[in-house]
C-alpha cells in the first residue's frame, strides 16, 4: 500500500531495510504511513535492545529488519520507547507477544497508557478519524509486570561496563525520555529534537522542524530539553523521524529558528480568532478553533516551502518532494494544531487568573 504522492517509491523493497550505523548499532526503516525514511527503530543486536517499535502497521517491517539482522523478537530483552505516541510505541503490545522475555522501558507518566491504551487510542482516533485503523490498529495493552519506568539520570548497564542513560525530555510531551549512548556517541531523540526530513538531504536541503503536536506541547519545556541534550555534547543524533546525523549544531540551529516562527505566526492567528472564540458557544468554539488551525497550517506550510526553496540549487526539487507528500502536510497540520491548542489554553488560563 502507498500513500498519495509516494507512487514512485519502491515501498516493499525499502520498508524494513537495515542500515548499519557503527558501534554495534543498526537502524530499521519502519515506513510509518507506508513511507520510507519516515520512522525508524534502532537495534543493538549484541545487547538485545530495541529502541522504538513504531505503529502496528509497521510491525511486519520491524520483523523483516530483525530477520535481516539474523534475529527474532525473542532475541530482544529490552524495548525502549521514547514516549507513548502511537507512531513510536503503538506496536509494543504486538511485539511483546512475540518477545516473551522482554521488558519495556518508558517514562513514568507514560506507563499507564501502555498498560491501558484506551484513552490514548480514543484521542488519536479523534485526530485521524476514518484512517486510524489503516495506520495504527491494533494497539494491544502491555502486562504491568513487563513495564519498567526510569527517572531522569537513570541508566541501563550493558556489557563491558557500557551504559545507556535516560533523561527526562519534555516539551513535545511530558512523558518523553531521550536516551544517551556514550559508546555510540549519540542521543536517541524521539521527537524531543524535532523531525529531520532526511529524504530531502540528497538535494542539499537540510530541514529540521520542531514537533509541536497536540495536546501537551510546551515551548519552554522544549527549549530546556534542547539545552539539556546539547550539554551532553553528542557527536550524533538518532532521530525516530528519521535517521542519523552528525550535524548536531545545525539541528539545534534549525529548531531555534523555527520554534519562534511557529509561535509568532500562531499569535498572529490568535489575535484574529480569540475574541469570537471567547464569546462563542461551545459548538461555535470548536469551529473557530478549527479555522484558526487551518489558517496557521497554511501560513507555516508556505513559510516552510519558501525556506526549502531558498536552500541552494536543490531547493526547487526539495520543494517538489515536500509538497507532494501527504504525510508532510499532515505533520504541518499537527504542529499548527498543537501551537494553537497551547495558545488558546494559555489565554484561558489568563482569563481565569
122 domain-assigned: yes
**Same domain, yes or no, for 266 and 138?**
no
- Residue found under cell 517514562: 107
Strand duo 163-168 + 155-157: pairing: antiparallel
293 and 248 Cβ atoms separated by less than 8 Å: no
Q: What is the pLDDT along the chain (353 residues), one digit of tens a residue?
A: 233 334 344 677 899 999 999 999 999 999 998 899 999 999 999 999 999 999 999 999 999 999 999 999 999 999 999 999 999 999 999 999 999 999 999 999 999 999 999 999 999 998 877 789 888 999 999 999 999 999 999 999 999 999 999 999 999 999 999 999 999 999 999 999 999 999 999 999 999 999 999 999 999 999 999 999 999 999 999 999 999 999 999 999 999 999 999 999 999 999 999 998 988 887 789 899 999 999 999 999 999 999 999 987 889 999 999 999 999 999 999 999 999 999 999 988 766 65
321 domain-assigned: yes
210 domain-assigned: no
**Same domain, yes or no, for 15 and 143?**
yes
How many structural domains does the chain have? 2
pLDDT in tens, 217-271: 999 999 999 999 999 999 999 999 999 999 999 999 999 999 999 999 999 999 9
**Same domain, yes or no, for 5 and 144?**
yes
214 domain-assigned: no
Last residue of a domain, one of 98, 126, 149: 149
273 domain-assigned: yes
Residue-number span of the structural domain to which 120 is assigned = 1-106+108-149
Last residue of a domain, one of 149, 182, 215: 149
Phi, psi (deg, nearest 5) at residue 208: -125, 125
**Same domain, yes or no, for 4 and 143?**
yes
302 domain-assigned: yes
Q: Quote the pTM value.
A: 0.94
314 domain-assigned: yes
**Same domain, yes or no, for 278 and 143?**
no
Strand duo 208-209 + 49-51: pairing: unpaired
Angle CA 328–176–37, to nearest 5? 30
345 domain-assigned: yes
Helix (H) or strand (E) holding 51: strand 49-51
CATH code for position 136: 3.60.15.10
**Same domain, yes or no, for 7 and 139?**
yes
Last residue of a domain, one of 98, 122, 149: 149
Amino acid at each position: 500500500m502507498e500513500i498519495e504522492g509516494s507512487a514512485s517509491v519502491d515501498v516493499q523493497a525499502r520498508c524494513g531495510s537495515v542500515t548499519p550505523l557503527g558501534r554495534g548499532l543498526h537502524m530499521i526503516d519502519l515506513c510509518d504511513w507506508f513511507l520510507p525514511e519516515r520512522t525508524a527503530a534502532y537495534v543493538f543486536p549484541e545487547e538485545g535492545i530495541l529502541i522504538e517499535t513504531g505503529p502496528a502497521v509497521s510491525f511486519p517491517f520491524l520483523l523483516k529488519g530483525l530477520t535481516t539482522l539474523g534475529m527474532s523478537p525473542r532475541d530482544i530483552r529490552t524495548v525502549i520507547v521514547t514516549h507513548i505516541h502511537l507512531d513510536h510505541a503503538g506496536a509494543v503490545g504486538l511485539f511483546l507477544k512475540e518477545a516473551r522475555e522482554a521488558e519495556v522501558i518508558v517514562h513514568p507518566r507514560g506507563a499507564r497508557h501502555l498498560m491501558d491504551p484506551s484513552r490514548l487510542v480514543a484521542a488519536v482516533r479523534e485526530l485521524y478519524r476514518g484512517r486510524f485503523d489503516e495506520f495504527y490498529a491494533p494497539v494491544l495493552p502491555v502486562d504491568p509486570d513487563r513495564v519498567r519506568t526510569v527517572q531522569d539520570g537513570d541508566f541501563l548497564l550493558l556489557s563491558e561496563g557500557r551504559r545507556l542513560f535516560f533523561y527526562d525530555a519534555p516539551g513535545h510531551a511530558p512523558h518523553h525520555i531521550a536516551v544517551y549512548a556514550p559508546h555510540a556517541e549519540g542521543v536517541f531523540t524521539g521527537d524531543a529534537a524535532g523531525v529531520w526530513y532526511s529524504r530531502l538531504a540528497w538535494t542539499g536541503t537540510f530541514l529540521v522542524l520542531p514537533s509541536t503536536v497536540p495536546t501537551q506541547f510546551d515551548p519552554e519545556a522544549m527549549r530546556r530539553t534542547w539545552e539539556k541534550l546539547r550539554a551532553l555534547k553528542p557527536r550524533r543524533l538518532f532521530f525516530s523521524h528519521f535517521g542519523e546525523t552528525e550535524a548536531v549544531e545545525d539541528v539545534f540551529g534549525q529548531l531555534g529558528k523555527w520554534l519562534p516562527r511557529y509561535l509568532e505566526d500562531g499569535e498572529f492567528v490568535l489575535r484574529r480568532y480569540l475574541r469570537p472564540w471567547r464569546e462563542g458557544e461551545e459548538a461555535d468554539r470548536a469551529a473557530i478553533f478549527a479555522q484558526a488551525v487551518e489558517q496557521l497550517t497554511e501560513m507555516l506550510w508556505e513559510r516552510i516551502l519558501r525556506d526549502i526553496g531558498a536552500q541552494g540549487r536543490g531547493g526547487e526539487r526539495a520543494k517538489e518532494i515536500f509538497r507532494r507528500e501527504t504525510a508532510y502536510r499532515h505533520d504541518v497540520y499537527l504542529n499548527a494544531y498543537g501551537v494553537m491548542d497551547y495558545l488558546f489554553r494559555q489565554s484561558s488560563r489568563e482569563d481565569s487568573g
